[in-house]
C-alpha cells in the first residue's frame, strides 16, 4: 500500500481501540472536505470552539486547521487572510498575492495542515494507534519552532541542516525498527499532496475570486518554495481551475532542481538535496533560484526599525502595509522573490496575478536577524544598508537562475528522484514511474473527491 493512499482498515484492533480512546476523550476529527470549505461546512463549529486557546495542543484546534481563521485565530473569515503586495514593495506591476499561513493554530504555520494530511490516512486505516505509537515527523526547523516542543524527549536531532535529508531518513530508518514509532515521511506521503490540493488550492482560488470580483484579473501562476512539495499540490488545483502555471522556488545555495546541485542554505523549511516523491514534476512549469542572502537581508529590511523607516520614507509604504510584513517568514520572502522573477521573466502587467502562500511569519525567525546582521552587516544596519539590501534583492532581482521547463528539463528532474526513492528508500519502480503521468495525480484527487 502506498503511504497516504490507504482506503481500507488494515488493523481492525488498532482502529477499534483508537475509536474508543478518541470517544473517551471526546475528540472529534474534521473531514478534509470540511477543511476545504470552512465557510460552508464549519461556521457553527468554529463559533462553538471560540473559547479554545489557538496556541494550545487542544484537539478542538483541529477544526482550525484551514485557511479561514481570522487574525486572532478564534473566528472564521469568509475569504482567507491575505496580502496584496504593492508595486512600491515588489517593483513589478503584477499583483503578488500572499495567503497567510500564520493564521493556522498551534504553531502558527500551515505545516499543521500537512501533518493532519499525513496522519489522517493512518488513523483511518488503523495503522496509527495513539495509545501505542509515537508519530515521528522528519523536519528541519528554526530555533523558535523547536521551542514549541517543550519536552526534550520529543526531539531527535540529526546532524547538519535540514538539507541533510539523507541523514534524516537514516535516523528515521533506525527509529522505525521500534514498532512503537510510526514514521510520517511528509516527503513521500500522498496525504500531504491530497490535503494541499483539496484545501490550500481552493483557499487560494477563493482569494483570487474575491479580488477578481469585476472579472478583470488573470491568475497567471502559483509559486512555492518547496520542501516536501506538499504545498505545490495547490498549484495542480489552480492549474485545473484557473489555468495557472506552477513555479517551484529553491535556494540558489542548494540548486538541486535547477542544476542537480547540493549545498547548505538558510531558507528554513525548503530544499533538501532531493526531489520529493510527492512532487508532480511533470506538472511543474518553472524552477526559480533565490539566494538565502536575499531572504536574510530582506528579513532585516522588513523587521527592523531602520528597514521599516526606509520603506515608509523612501518607498511610500503605509504603516498598515509595513505591519503586515511581520506575516512573512524566510520562505515567504523567497516566494515573493520567486514571484517577482516570474513576473519579470513573463513580462506581467497590472492585471496579472501571482498567487503564493506565506508558510509562516517573521516571529519564527527573530533569532535569525542577529545572525544575518553579523554575517552581512557587521558594521550595523541603518537606513543606508536597508536601501542597499532592498535595491540589491528586490529592485535588482533579475531573471537569472530561472528555468522554464520543457520536456527534457522535466525528465531530468523526474529522473533525479529515482536515486532517492527507488535506490535508497525502496519504492518499487512501478510506483515510482506512474508519477510521470499527470493523470496519476489527477486520478488521486478524483478518487479522494469520490470517497
Ligand atoms: C517554513 C517553511 N516554508 C516552506 C516549506 C515548504 O513547504 P512544503 O513542505 O509544503 O513544500 C516548509 C516545509 O516544512 C517550511 O517549514
Q: 414 CA distance to ligand 1 centroid (A)?
A: 20
Are 398 and 297 contained in the same domain? yes
Specify the CATH number for the domain of residue 90: 3.40.50.1100
Report how far residue 274's alpha carbon sits from residue 417's, in angstroms, rounded to the nearest whole number.
Answer: 7
Are 167 and 293 contained in the same domain? no
Are 285 and 174 contained in the same domain? no
Task: Look at residue 430 and tell me if it is in a domain.
Answer: no
Task: Look at residue 417 and tell me if it is in a domain.
Answer: no
Are 268 and 166 contained in the same domain? no
Residue 173 pLDDT: 82
Residue 180 pLDDT: 82
Task: Look at residue 421 and tell me if it is in a domain.
Answer: no
134 within 8 A of 155, measured Cβ to Cβ: no
Are 178 and 261 contained in the same domain? no
- Which stretches of the chain drop beneath a pLDDT of 50? none
Residue 161 pLDDT: 62
Q: What is the pLDDT of residues 265-314, one digit of tens each?
A: 999 999 889 999 999 999 999 999 999 999 999 999 999 999 999 999 99
Q: 24 CA distance to ligand 1 centroid (A)?
A: 34
Number of structural domains in the chain: 2
C-beta 168 within 6 A of ligand 1: no
Task: Look at residue 434 and tell me if it is in a domain.
Answer: no
C-beta 203 within 6 A of ligand 1: no
Are 288 and 154 contained in the same domain? no
Task: Look at residue 440 and tell me if it is in a domain.
Answer: no
Residue 143 pLDDT: 63
Residue 393 pLDDT: 98
Site to probe by mutation for ligand 1, drawn from 104, 165, 269, 274 as the one with most ligand atoms within 8 Å of Cβ, is 269
C-beta 270 within 6 A of ligand 1: yes
Q: What is the pLDDT of residues 212-262, one digit of tens each?
A: 999 999 999 999 999 999 999 999 999 999 999 999 999 999 999 999 999
Are 51 and 100 contained in the same domain? no
Are 73 and 96 contained in the same domain? no
Cα distances from 173 to residues 178, 191, 338, 362, in angstroms, run 9, 20, 34, 33
Residue 178 pLDDT: 84
- Three-state DSSP at 397 gives coil
Biggest CA–CA distance in the chain, Å, is 65
pTM: 0.94
For residue 164, report the phi and psi dihedrals to the nearest 5 degrees: -85, 60
The alpha-carbon radius of gyration of the chain (Å, integer) is 21
Are 349 and 265 contained in the same domain? yes
190 within 8 A of 299, measured Cβ to Cβ: no
Domain span holding position 221: 82-104+195-404
C-beta 140 within 6 A of ligand 1: no
Are 121 and 229 contained in the same domain? no
107 within 8 A of 72, measured Cβ to Cβ: no
Query: Within a 10 A sphere around the Cβ of 391, how many other Cβ atoms?
Result: 11
Residue 134 pLDDT: 77
C-beta 276 within 6 A of ligand 1: no
Are 93 and 73 contained in the same domain? no
Which ligand 1 atom minimizes the distance to the CA of 187? 9
Residue 20 pLDDT: 82
Classify strands 82-85 and 95-100 as parallel, antiparallel or unpaired: antiparallel
Amino acid at each position: 500500500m502506498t503511504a497516504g493512499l490507504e482506503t481500507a482498515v488494515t488493523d481492525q484492533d488498532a482502529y477499534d481501540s483508537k475509536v474508543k480512546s478518541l470517544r473517551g476523550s471526546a475528540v472529534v476529527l474534521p473531514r478534509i472536505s470540511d477543511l476545504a470549505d470552512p465557510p460552508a461546512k464549519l461556521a457553527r463549529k468554529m463559533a462553538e470552539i471560540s473559547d479554545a486557546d489557538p496556541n494550545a495542543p487542544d484537539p478542538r484546534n483541529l477544526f482550525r486547521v484551514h485557511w479561514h481563521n481570522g487574525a486572532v485565530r478564534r473566528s472564521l473569515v469568509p475569504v482567507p487572510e491575505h496580502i496584496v503586495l504593492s508595486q512600491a514593495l515588489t517593483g513589478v506591476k503584477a499583483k503578488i498575492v500572499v495567503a497567510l499561513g500564520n493564521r493556522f493554530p498551534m504553531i502558527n504555520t500551515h505545516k499543521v495542515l500537512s501533518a493532519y494530511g499525513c496522519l489522517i490516512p493512518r488513523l483511518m486505516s488503523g495503522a496509527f494507534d495513539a495509545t501505542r505509537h509515537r508519530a515521528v515527523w522528519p523536519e528541519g526547523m528554526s530555533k523558535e519552532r523547536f521551542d514549541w516542543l517543550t519536552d526534550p524527549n520529543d526531539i531527535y536531532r540529526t546532524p547538519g541542516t535540514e538539507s541533510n535529508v539523507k541523514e534524516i531518513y537514516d535516523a528515521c530508518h533506525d527509529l522505525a525498527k521500534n514498532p512503537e514509532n510510526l514514521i510520517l515521511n511528509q516527503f513521500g506521503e500522498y496525504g500531504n499532496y491530497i490535503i494541499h490540493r483539496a484545501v490550500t488550492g481552493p483557499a487560494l482560488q477563493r482569494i483570487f475570486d474575491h479580488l477578481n470580483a469585476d472579472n478583470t484579473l488573470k491568475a497567471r501562476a502559483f509559486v512555492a518554495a518547496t520542501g516536501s512539495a506538499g504545498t505545490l499540490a495547490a498549484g495542480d488545483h489552480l492549474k485545473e481551475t484557473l489555468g495557472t502555471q506552477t513555479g517551484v522556488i529553491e535556494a540558489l545555495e542548494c540548486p538541486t532542481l535547477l542544476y542537480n546541485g547540493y549545498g547548505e542554505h538558510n531558507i528554513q523549511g525548503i530544499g533538501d538535496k532531493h526531489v520529493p516523491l510527492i512532487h508532480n514534476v511533470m506538472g511543474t512549469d518553472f524552477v526559480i533560484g533565490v539566494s538565502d542572502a536575499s531572504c536574510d537581508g530582506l528579513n532585516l529590511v522588513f523587521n527592523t526599525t531602520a528597514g521599516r523607516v526606509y520603506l515608509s520614507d523612501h518607498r511610500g509604504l503605509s504603516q498598515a502595509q509595513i505591519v503586515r510584513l511581520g506575516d512573512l517568514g524566510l520562505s515567504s520572502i523567497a516566494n515573493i522573490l520567486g514571484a517577482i522573477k516570474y513576473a519579470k521573466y513573463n513580462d506581467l502587467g497590472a492585471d496579472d496575478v501571482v498567487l503564493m502562500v506565506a508558510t509562516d511569519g517573521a516571529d519564527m525567525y527573530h533569532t535569525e536577524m542577529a545572525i544575518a546582521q553579523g554575517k552581512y552587516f557587521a558594521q550595523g544596519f541603518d537606513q543606508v544598508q536597508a536601501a542597499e539590501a532592498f535595491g540589491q534583492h528586490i529592485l535588482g532581482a533579475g531573471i537569472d537562475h530561472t528555468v522554464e521547463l520543457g520536456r527534457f528539463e522535466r525528465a531530468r528532474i523526474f529522473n533525479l528522484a529515482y536515486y532517492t526513492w527507488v535506490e535508497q528508500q525502496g519504492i518499487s519502480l512501478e510506483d515510482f514511474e506512474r508519477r510521470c503521468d499527470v493523470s496519476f495525480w489527477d486520478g488521486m484527487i478524483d478518487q479522494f473527491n469520490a470517497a
